[in-house]
């Protein structure tokens, strides 16, 4: 090979490497889709609860609401359980006091998970779990129903939707769970 050819080849290779470096990092892979939940045998109350969960999916948010026209977080839980014949108190704090405590590793479909994510600091706006600790660590002011597979359904200003318990905001603001259905899987 003559020197001119080697210089041209070297220049072309250098330009290709330089251009590849300008392209930046490849885009991150898309998030993994949620794995489907394994089929389970449900009690009649759990089946009623499962049907109610389907009915309330996507319902709009309404402060104080407890119907398919609109719900807030504790109104959603109260309405879901009402359809199973279980009467629950209206507020998140009162719902937290009712039922049997459940460890995070023992969660099953129908358990209610509680958070301090939306607690208010006296007139200073929303308490952002994990950032500030103004004495609200043990307070509960948001809840949702555990669906299994690390997922729960809840109502917020975006309406009723499903989130993952392992998402940072829910992981750091998690305060416990309660079980209202007897027996089970």
d(CA 153, CA 144): 5
- DSSP class of 161: E
CA 24 to chain centre: 33
**Host domain of residue 54:** 42-179
pLDDT of residue 119: 78
Nearest C-alpha neighbor of 77 from the set 140, 173, 154: 154
H or E element in which residue 70 lies: strand 70-71
Angle subtended at Cα 120 by Cα 116 and Cα 122, rounded to the nearest 5 degrees: 140
Structural domain includes residue 7: no
146: CATH: 3.90.1720.10
Model confidence pLDDT, tens digit, residues 29-38? 555 555 565 6
Structural domain includes residue 161: yes
Active site residue 22: no
Parts of the chain with a pLDDT under 70: 1-39, 120-137, 183-185
**Ramachandran angles phi, psi of 47, nearest 5°:** -65, -40
pLDDT of residue 142: 95
Of residues 22, 119, 141, 154, which has the active-site annotation? Answer: 154
pLDDT of residue 122: 40
Of residues 22, 119, 141, 142, which has the active-site annotation? Answer: 142
Overall number of domains in the chain: 1
Q: Roughly how many angstroms between the first and final C-alpha of the chain, as a whole number?
A: 76
Nearest C-alpha neighbor of 55 from the set 42, 38, 67: 67
pLDDT of residue 33: 57
State the pTM of this model: 0.72
Of residues 22, 73, 119, 141, which has the active-site annotation? Answer: 73
Structural domain includes residue 56: yes
Structural domain includes residue 158: yes
Structural domain includes residue 33: no
Active site residue 154: yes
pLDDT of residue 24: 41
pLDDT of residue 100: 96
pLDDT of residue 127: 43
């Amino acid at each position: 090979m003559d020197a001119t050819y080697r210089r041209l080849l070297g220049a072309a290779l250098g330009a290709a490497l330089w251009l590849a470096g300008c392209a930046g990092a490849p885009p991150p892979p898309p998030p993994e889709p949620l794995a489907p939940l394994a089929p389970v045998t449900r009690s009649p109350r759990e089946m009623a609860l499962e049907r109610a969960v389907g009915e309330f999916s996507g319902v709009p948010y309404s402060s104080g609401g407890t119907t398919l026209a609109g719900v807030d977080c504790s109104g959603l839980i109260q309405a879901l359980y009402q359809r199973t014949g279980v009467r629950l108190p209206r507020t998140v704090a009162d719902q937290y006091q009712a039922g049997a405590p459940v460890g995070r590793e023992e969660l099953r479909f129908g358990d209610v998970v509680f958070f301090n994510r939306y607690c208010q600091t006296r007139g200073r706006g929303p308490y952002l779990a994990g950032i500030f600790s103004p004495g609200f660590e043990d307070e509960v002011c948001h809840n949702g129903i555990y669906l299994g597979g690390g997922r729960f359904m809840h109502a917020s200003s975006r309406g009723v939707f499903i989130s993952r318990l392992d998402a940072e905001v829910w992981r750091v603001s998690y305060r416990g769970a309660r079980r209202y259905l007897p027996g089970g899987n």
